[in-house]
């Protein structure tokens, strides 16, 4: 083994990833090569010193705080499982309803009207379909930047290239429509080139397979949405509804069908 | 179908026993991933709650720690990845592998120049150097250096090819060495390169 060969294996040896044979060969080389030995020694020392420096003292208050939050979330999940799955919680309080609508109006407001693409204002999302938005847990439309980030991530997973600025994805409309016999709410994001939709579908009507990376959402064995759709991901279920992001190459797909969400008023 | 209550209780118990003890480790990696305490806490919580939802998919006896890190890395990449993340086009090819070696050997008098160098460096300085790595490199560097995962485990956790793990780790190391050395020179721990 020459010096170049020995140095090529340096990191694999330090990380204990080299084969037994290679490790022996390198050892033999280091026995008679002072220069390589020095380099191995230095890099090995750097590695252990780095590890030493990166040790983190356990932040006990933080751990306790997280544990408490996690346990109460687990309690919620258990309670849901005990009752046989998510239940639809009716939209009860007018005050909450107004708050939900107000939140939606706020979000859609400027972006939507500045867009000028919308012509039809006849179909509105029924108020009861907006109930999920009132939940504290749904922040998807409260933080449009986070939403755009999630959409970008999902789209990237399915091969649509988006730059880190999300290529100007904006919430441009929403509608209530029927897909495979299901009444769903669809919120439509577009940048004029790619589009993505956030769907809200009754969770009881869909099945999904999940390998932790990608989710396939089906209704009666068929992919629930297929307009040039590259793939979709279930974000979470809430109050009996599943919130799903789809990524598509549709360009402004039937934009006029998307109505202002404020129609809910 | 509703789970029976005893079934739910059993799952919950197993999860608390096997998964929750990894919270410390998840948190220290989350800190380096997100570079911020609030996001790190959110990330760990989100990952563990997600893990609980998918606990049925975890095969008893397999590597729970790696499985949890896979979920957390996935959540991080999908939801927390910073908007302004550094482009992958960072050119590290012009940094020689033995850059630090050469610089230390040329600019130090002691027998153990690296020890002297690191003795002066604060833990926070080293963490800062890690934080400055481009995100794609940082993830593999942290999983390897801090958590001690093998290349194969990192490939599975971050959903990368084995070759990609090796090259990102290698490039990450080069950048890290460069950052640490520049830091040391800036602060006068060692002399600058001699012309």
Whether A45 and A174 map to the same domain: the answer is no
Tell me how many domains chain B contains.
2
User: Please, what is the end-to-end C-alpha distance for chain A in angstroms?
Assistant: 78
Q: Which residue of B has its CA nearest to A147?
A: B79
Residue B121: inside a domain, yes or no?
A: yes
Q: Which of B45, B81, B146 sits opposite A69 (nearest CB)?
A: B45
pLDDT at site A26: 92
- Paired with A196 in beta bridges are A189, A247
pLDDT in tens, B80-96: 765 444 444 455 555 66
Does residue B22 fall inside a structural domain? Answer: yes
- pLDDT tens digits for B89-132? 455 555 666 666 666 666 655 566 666 666 677 777 888 888 88
Classify residue A83: in a domain, yes or no.
no
Question: Domain holding B18: CATH number?
Answer: 1.10.1740.10
Q: How confident is the prediction along chain A (265 residues), in pLDDT tens digits per residue? A: 889 999 889 989 988 899 999 999 999 999 999 888 888 888 888 888 788 877 777 788 899 999 999 999 998 888 887 776 443 333 322 333 333 333 333 333 333 333 322 222 223 333 333 333 333 333 444 455 556 666 666 666 655 554 444 456 666 666 666 776 666 777 766 666 666 677 777 777 776 655 444 455 666 666 666 555 566 666 666 566 677 777 665 554 444 444 443 332 2
Closest Cα partner for A189 from A168, A220, A207? A168
Residue A120 exposed, middle or buried by CB count within 10 Å (0-12, 13-18, 19+)? middle
Q: What is the CATH number of the domain that holds B137?
A: 1.10.10.10
From B80, B107, B136, the end of a domain falls on B80
Q: Which of B18, B31, B32 is nearest to B67 (CA)?
A: B18
Q: What is the Cα–Cα distance from A49 to A44, expressed in whole angstroms?
A: 9
Establish if B51 touches chain A: CB-CB under 8 angstroms.
Answer: no
Question: Is the domain of A26 the same as that of A99?
Answer: no
Does a structural domain hold residue A158? yes
Best CA proximity match to B29, nearest among B120, B107, B143, B114: B143
Is residue A26 located within the same domain as residue A139?
A: no
* Domain identity same for A150 and A29: no
Q: Is residue A130 part of a domain?
A: yes
pLDDT digits (tens, 9 = 90+) for B41-83: 999 999 999 899 888 888 777 889 999 999 999 888 877 765 4
Token pair, residue A12, equals 């694999």
Q: And the tokens for B97? A: 């592998």
Rounded Cα distance, A54 and B166, in Å: 21
**Probe site for chain B from A11, A56, A168 (most B CB atoms < 10 A):** A56
Q: Are residues A226 and A155 part of one domain?
A: yes
How far is Cα A47 from Cα B119, in angstroms, rounded to an integer?
14
* Angstrom distance (rounded) from CA A202 to CA A204: 6
In order, the DSSP letters of chain A are --HHHHHHTHHHHHTT-S-HHHHHHHHHHHHH-HHHHHHHHHHHHHHHHHHHHH-----HHHHHHHHHHHHHHHHHHHHHHHTTS--PPP---HHHHHHHHHHHHHHHHHHHHHH-----------GGGGGGGGSTT--TTT-HHHHHHHHHHHHHHTT----TTGGG-EEEEEEEEEETTEEEEEEEEE-SS-EEEEEEEEGGG-EEEE-SS-EEEEETTEES--SSEEEEEEEEEETTEEEEEEEE--SSTTGGG-B-GGGG-
The answer on A98 and A47 residing in a single domain is: no
Residues B58 and B111 in one domain: no
Size of interface A-B (CB pairs under 8 A): 126
How much is the pLDDT for B143?
A: 94
Selected for mutation to probe chain A from B39, B49, B174 (highest A CB count within 10 Å) is: B49
B58, B109: one domain: no
- The pLDDT, as a whole number, for residue A200 is 74
Q: Are residues A113 and A39 in the same domain?
A: no
- B63 and B26: one domain? yes
In this structure, the answer to whether residues B104 and B170 fall within a common structural domain is yes
A123 with A251, same domain? yes
Do A209 and A112 have their domain in common? yes
Give the B window 59-78 contacts with A, CB below 8 Å.
Answer: 70-71, 74, 77-78
Q: Compute the nearest-CA separation of A81 from chain B (Å).
A: 6
Q: Is A67 part of any domain? A: no
CB contacts, 8 Å: B126 with chain A: 50, 53-54
Same-domain pairing of A42 and A162: no
Residue A101 counted as domain residue: yes
Q: Residues of B with CB below 8 A from A14's CB?
A: none
Classify residue B93: in a domain, yes or no: no
CA distance B181 to A68: 42
Residues B62 and B108 in one domain: no
Domains identified in chain A, total number: 2
Which pLDDT value is given to residue B92?
A: 56
How confident is the model over B147-185, as pLDDT tens digits? 999 999 999 998 888 999 999 999 998 888 888 878 877
* One domain, residues A120 and A212: yes
Q: What CA–CA distance (Å, rounded) separates A90 from A254?
A: 31
* Same domain for B173 and B106: yes
Q: Which two tokens stand for residue A185?
A: 């709410």
State the Cα–Cα distance between residues B95 and B117, nearest whole angstrom: 20
The Cα–Cα gap between A236 and A42 comes to 49
Residue B55 domain-assigned?
Answer: yes
Residues B68 and B129 grouped into a single domain: no
Domain range holding B113?
Answer: 99-186
- Report DSSP state, residue B192: P
Query: By residue range, what is the domain housing residue A24?
Result: 3-54
Alpha carbons A57 and A55: distance in angstroms, whole number: 7
| Domain boundary pick from B80, B109, B144 | B80
pLDDT, tens only, A7-25 = 889 989 988 899 999 999 9
Q: Tokens for A222?
A: 């068929």
In a domain, B142, yes or no: yes
pLDDT (0 to 100) of residue A160: 57
Which pLDDT does position A217 carry in this prediction?
Answer: 63
What's the mean pLDDT in B21-44?
Answer: 92
Res A262: pLDDT: 32
Question: Considering only CA atoms, which of A10, A13, A51, A7 is closest in space to residue B141?
Answer: A51
Residues A140 and A207 reside in one and the same domain: yes
* Residue A7 placed within a domain: yes
Quick one: three-class SS letters along B81-124?
Answer: CCCCCCCCCCCCCCCCCCHHHHHHHHHCCCCCHHHHHHHHCCHH
């Amino acid at each position: 083994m020459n010096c170049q060969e020995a140095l090529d294996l340096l990191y694999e040896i330090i990380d204990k990833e080299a084969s037994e044979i290679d490790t022996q060969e390198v050892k033999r080389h280091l026995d008679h090569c002072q220069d390589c030995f020095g380099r191995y020694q230095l890099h090995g020392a750097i590695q252990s010193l780095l590890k030493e420096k990166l040790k983190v003292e356990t932040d006990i208050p933080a751990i306790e705080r997280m544990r408490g939050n996690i346990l109460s979330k687990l309690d919620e999940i258990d309670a849901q499982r005990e009752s046989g799955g998510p239940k639809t919680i009716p939209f009860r309080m007018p005050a909450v309803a107004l708050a939900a609508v107000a939140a939606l109006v706020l979000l859609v407001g400027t972006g939507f009207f500045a867009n000028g693409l919308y012509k039809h204002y006849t179909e509105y999302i029924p108020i009861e379909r907006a109930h999920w938005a009132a939940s504290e847990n749904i922040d998807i439309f409260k933080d449009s930047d986070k939403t755009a980030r999630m959409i970008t991530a999902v789209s990237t997973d399915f091969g649509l290239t988006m730059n880190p600025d999300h290529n100007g994805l904006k919430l441009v409309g929403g509608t209530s429509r029927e897909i495979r016999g299901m009444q769903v709410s669809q919120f439509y994001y577009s940048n004029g080139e790619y589009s993505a939709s956030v769907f809200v579908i009754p969770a009881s009507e869909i099945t999904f397979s999940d390998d932790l990376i990608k989710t396939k959402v089906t209704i009666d064995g068929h992919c629930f949405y297929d307009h040039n759709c590259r793939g979709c991901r279930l974000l979470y279920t809430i109050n009996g509804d599943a919130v799903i992001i789809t990524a598509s190459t549709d360009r402004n797909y039937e934009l006029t069908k998307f109505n202002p969400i404020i129609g809910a008023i | 179908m509703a789970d029976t209550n005893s079934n739910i209780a059993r799952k919950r118990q197993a999860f608390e026993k096997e998964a929750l003890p990894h919270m410390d480790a998840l948190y220290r990696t989350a800190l380096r991933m997100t570079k911020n305490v609030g996001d790190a806490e959110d990330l760990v919580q989100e990952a563990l709650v997600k893990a609980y939802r998918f606990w049925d998919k975890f095969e008893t006896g397999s590597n729970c720690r790696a499985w949890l890190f896979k979920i957390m890395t996935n959540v991080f990449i999908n939801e927390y990845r910073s908007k302004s993340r550094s482009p992958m086009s960072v050119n590290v090819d012009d940094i020689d592998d033995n850059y630090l070696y050469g610089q230390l050997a040329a600019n130090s008098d002691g027998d153990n120049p690296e020890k002297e160098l690191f003795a002066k460096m604060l833990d926070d300085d080293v963490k800062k150097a890690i934080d400055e790595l481009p995100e794609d490199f940082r993830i593999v560097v942290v999983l390897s250096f801090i958590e001690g995962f093998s290349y194969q485990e990192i490939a599975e956790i971050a959903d990368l090819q084995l070759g990609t793990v090796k090259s990102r780790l290698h490039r990450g190391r080069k950048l890290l060495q460069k950052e640490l050395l520049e830091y040391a020179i800036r602060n006068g721990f060692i002399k600058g390169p001699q012309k």
